């Protein structure tokens, strides 16, 4: 199968984004015992500044299209709660496990697209979603104890992201600008986390601040890279390459954190990534637009 030039550019951008998000989670973990809300604030502050500069240079500035405000709010709400849960999971689970649970977002987006976009999932969508959740069980290894909380947070991190991506699709169909969506999300996340950060503020060492600065920079770079990727090529052709984030995260965890994934976790990765690859190949060979667009 021969890739067109734009397809190759899209794949390159999404690989850069995957590496960027993996490095973001790595530096979030490396920042140590900084409270989750503090980490979330700094992660989103950089994206807010970059989006703000972009909007100030645009003709419409901060104008939101008519009828889009409530959908932007819902995108911000689900995206922020998903982000906070993902950060909690990053601090309490092996890095690769936390990233893999977050990569459930396309499967949750399939479910969310039914009430939000009125899209009907295909039998392939349903089958791959159900099997993917078997992979989740292998990663989470439910015991019913307190140890399940980080795994449940990681699952909601993927769910929140998937629902948020569905609202992004809806906003895109209404012609809302990417910079407005990114700016509103970043400001909303900062406003939500700021009070918790202020009342539970923990002074940081210089190296911890440096880690969070790097996390914010890599997150912003990844966000812009993934946005560019889907301008070059449709999700059905390149979305599967986003799963390389798990490979990058596993490598960082093994090299720098001495985290060797459990055999059951590895089996879970194979199942979830396998279902993503299968959906990608099915959509590609059947030459149709998929019922949900991956992030």
CB 42 within 8 A of CB 212: yes
Average pLDDT along the chain: 82
Rg (CA), the chain: 18
The yes-or-no verdict on residue 26 having pLDDT over 50 is: yes
- pLDDT at residue number 150: 87
> Which tens digits make up the pLDDT trace of 227-272?
677 667 655 566 667 778 878 888 888 888 888 878 888 888 888 8
For residue range 46-98, what is the model confidence (pLDDT) as tens digits?
Answer: 878 888 988 898 888 889 998 899 999 999 999 999 989 988 888 888 887 88
Is the pLDDT at 42 greater than 90, yes or no?
A: no
Torsion sign (Cα): 221, 132, 87, 292: positive
Mapped onto helix, strand or coil, the DSSP state of residue 130 is: helix
Q: What is the mean pLDDT of residues 165-190?
A: 85
Neighbours of 123 (CB within 10 A): 7
Domain coordinates in residue numbering, the chain: 35-203+234-285
CB-based burial label for 26 (10 Å; 0-12, 13-18, 19+):
buried
Please report the DSSP string for 227-266 in residue order.
HHHHHHS-HHHHGGGGGHHHHHHHHHHHHHH--PPPHHHH
Q: What is the rounded distance in angstroms from the CA atom of residue 220 to the CA atom of residue 48?
A: 9
Summarised one tens digit per residue, pLDDT across range 265-286 is 888 888 888 887 887 778 777 7
């Amino acid at each position: 199968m021969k890739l067109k030039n734009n397809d190759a550019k899209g794949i390159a951008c999404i690989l850069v984004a995957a590496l960027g998000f993996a490095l973001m989670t790595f530096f979030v973990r490396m920042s140590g015992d900084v409270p989750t809300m503090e980490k979330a604030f700094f992660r989103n502050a950089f994206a807010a500044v970059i989006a703000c500069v972009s909007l100030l240079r645009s003709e419409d500035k901060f104008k939101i299209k008519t009828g889009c405000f409530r959908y932007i709010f819902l995108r911000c709400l689900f995206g922020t709660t998903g982000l906070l849960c993902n950060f909690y999971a990053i601090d309490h689970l092996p890095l690769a496990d936390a990233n893999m649970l977050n990569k459930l977002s396309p499967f949750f987006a399939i479910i969310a697209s039914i009430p939000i976009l009125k899209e009907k999932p295909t039998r392939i969508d349903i089958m791959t979603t159900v099997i993917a959740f078997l992979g989740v069980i292998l990663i989470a290894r439910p015991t019913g104890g307190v140890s399940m909380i980080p795994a449940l947070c990681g699952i909601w991190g993927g769910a929140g992201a998937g629902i948020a991506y569905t609202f992004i699709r809806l906003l895109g169909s209404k012609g809302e600008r990417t910079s407005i969506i990114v700016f509103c999300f970043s400001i909303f996340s900062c406003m939500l986390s700021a009070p918790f950060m202020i009342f539970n503020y923990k002074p940081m060492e210089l190296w911890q601040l440096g880690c969070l600065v790097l996390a914010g920079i890599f997150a912003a770079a990844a966000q812009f890279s993934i946005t560019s990727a889907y301008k070059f090529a449709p999700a059905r052709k390149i979305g599967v390459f986003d799963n390389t984030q798990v490979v990058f995260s596993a490598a960082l965890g093994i090299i720098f954190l001495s985290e060797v994934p459990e055999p059951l976790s590895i089996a879970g990765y194979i199942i979830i990534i396998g279902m993503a690859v299968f959906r990608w190949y099915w959509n590609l060979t059947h030459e149709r637009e998929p019922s949900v667009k991956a992030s």
